[in-house]
Amino acid sequence: MNPFDDENGTFKVLVNSEGQYSLWPSFAPVPPGWEVRLDDRARAECTAHVEEHWTDLRPASLVAATAAAPDSRS
């Protein structure tokens, strides 16, 4: 099974400079360029965190480049 799909696994939530989120299995080292937002939690808790906080999927640089930010998530 892919480690990202392990419902019983322990995960982190990572964010990069573009404000993009990544689920990350706790057993693997955190890759450079990413910061930990949530540490060693159940998968469901991590996905709930992402749903709650990543409300605009546009990369930060695009948001910065375009003044208006209309209805960009859904």
CB of 58 to another protein, least distance (A): 7
11 Rama class: left (phi>0) / alpha (psi -120 to 50) / beta: beta
Alpha helix (H) ranges present in the chain? 43-53, 60-65
Residue numbers 12-31 binding another protein by CB under 8 A: 13-14, 16-18, 20-25, 27-31
CB of 56 to another protein, least distance (A): 9
Q: How far apart are the C-alpha atoms of 64 and 67, rounded to whole Å?
A: 7
Binding site for another protein (CB under 8 A): 1-5, 13-14, 16-18, 20-25, 27-34, 47-48, 50-51, 54-55, 57-59, 61-62, 65-66, 68, 70-74
